[in-house]
Every structure is written in structure tokens, then in C-alpha cells.
Amino acid sequence: MPPVENHVATSRLRTGKEYRELHTWIDDADPKIKTERHDITRIFVFGRRFEKQYGQEGLNEYLQHLHDDIAAKFEHLQHDVEKMTGDILAYFGVKKGSALNYTVQQGDIDIMKNAGLTDADLAHCLNVAKKAIEIAQRTGVRLDLELVGRGAFFHDLGKARSHEIDHGKIGAELGIAFGLPKALTDIMEKHIRGGMSEAEAKDLNLPVKNYTLSSLEEKIIIYADRLVDIITDGVVQIESEREAEDRFEEFIRNVPKYYKNQVTYERYLGYHREIQELMKG
């Protein structure tokens, strides 16, 4: 289930208020009490109480909390079922995720536009999606191309509200409010600095948790993001897109805009080497 902070964040986006007291009450630390407070047969009792205390908006936020929990539970179930069927198919020698291509969908473009993304940021996201899919195809590994394409496209959703380091966190909050899958909001949140440790997040005043990337799909997105920056920023002069890959190490070490610190540098270098190795093979 989403933690209290996620509920607080979505309430803030929807209403401008956090309703922290309400969400903390529902997600009581005692599992037994928590279960009771999520019992949908109690909606009429608890709903009345919240309506009295906070008005119609509070009632809505209580209902929305239950709704978001159920939606998240189903998403987990769906993910588990997909994984299980994938494992079974793999056992019988049938490979899953065998789509050969993916194109960004108009509905997703509309979401980004409605969120208020500028044309320049939208173009960047489209470029990253295109580059990520190209790289995923070149690896020859059977990957979830939809995750690669959509994850890359949505990675900068948060730029609709901020161009600072918090745009990952804000993007994930917006994504949750728009009902996007967790796999996508995770990428939005984790793409800052290419997948930070808890200690780095703390140093940057971001919610303290582990942002480490967990799949090749995510690494390809992060790598594509940096490549697109190198190709389109105009900070370095290159003749072809290929040169961005060939001189990647040099650029991320020597260009201040790309060299954030040693840890980030080594992380990006790791993705570069791992993915280039796959593309060679």
C-alpha cells in the first residue's frame, strides 16, 4: 500500500491541503486497527465522521485514500501475475516482452501537455524515449519496450512544475495523481543523479530512501537521458549521435554540466559500460 507520505502528496496536489491527520489515522501503526480503518464496509460510519470534521473535501480525501490503496494492490497483483506468466513462458522456452518496437502514444503526450510541460521539455522527453528504444533494440536483449518507451517519455513530467532537483519527486507525485503505473512513477523519482543512495538523497534534501535502479530498462532510460543531453544541449561539439556514445566517458568527466561528483560520474560510467558491452555482443 502507498505510504502515508504518498497519500499526503496526492491530497496536496488535489486540494492544496495535506490531510495528514486523516491519512495517518487511516494508516494506523497497529496493523489490526489499520485493517479495520481500511474496511470498506465501515465507509458509512467513518465517512460521516470525516464529513463532519473536514466537510465534503475531507470525505472525498478519505474515499480517495481507500481507492488509491485498492488500485495499488491491484497493480501489484497484476505485476505478480505478469511475472508469473513470464516465468512460465520462459520455462517453456517462449520469451516474454518480445515486442520489437514501441511508439509514444498520443494519450501520453496529452497527459504531459495537460500537466503544463513546455514544448522544449516535451521535445526532450520524446527524444529520450526515441533514444532509449533505439538502445534497447541494439542491446539484442528482450526487454519490456513499453516500459522503456513510456518510462523515458515520462521521466521529466515533474518539469511541468519545477526545473530544480525536486523535479523527480514532483513528477512522481503528479504521476500518482494521474494514475500512472508505479513502474513509471518510480523512474520519474529515481532518474535524478541516475539512481541515488539514501545518503545522497539526504545530502540533496530529498526524501531519504534508496533510489537505486533495479532493471536494465531503467538503466537504459537514464543512459539515454544523458546521451540526449549531450547530443542536444550544444555544450559539446559533435558530428553525429554516435560520437556521444564514443566520447561519453570523456564528456561526463570533463563537462561541468554533466560531472556532478565522483559518485554520480562512476554510476553513469557503469551504465555506459554495461550497455555498450551488451550492444557489442
Judged by the rule CB under 5 A, the positions of this chain that interact with Fe ion are 156, 225
Cβ atoms within 10 A of the Cβ of 237, count?
A: 6
The owner of cell 501520453 is: 108
For Fe ion, the closer of residues 156 and 173 by Cβ is: 156
Could you say which DSSP state residue 234 is in? Answer: -
In the complex with Fe ion, the residue whose CB is nearer, 66 or 188, is 188
C-alpha cell at 248: 561519453
In angstroms, give the least distance from the CB of 20 to Fe ion.
Answer: 28
For 16, the grid coordinates are: 492544496
Q: By C-beta, is 156 or 245 nearer to Fe ion?
A: 156
Whole-number Å distance between alpha carbons of 61 and 23: 9
Give the nearer residue to Fe ion in terms of CB position, either 62 or 154. 154
Q: In whole angstroms, how close is the CB of 247 to Fe ion at the nearest point?
A: 20
Shortest distance in whole angstroms from residue 157 CB to Fe ion: 9
**Closer to Fe ion by Cβ: residue 54 or 178:** 178
Decide if 18 contacts 6 (C-beta within 8 A).
no
CB 10 within 8 A of CB 177: yes
What's the min distance (Å) between Cβ of 167 and Fe ion?
Answer: 6
| In contact, 159 and 192? CB cutoff 8 Å | no
The distance between the two most distant Cα atoms of the chain, rounded to a whole number of Å, is 67
Closer Cβ to Fe ion, 59 or 135, answer by number: 135
Question: Is there a contact between 132 and 221 (Cβ–Cβ < 8 Å)?
Answer: yes
Residues 6+ apart with CB under 8 A from 30: none
Closest separation in Å from C-beta 158 to Fe ion: 7
Taking the complex as a whole, how short is the minimal distance between the CB of residue 225 and Fe ion, in angstroms?
A: 4
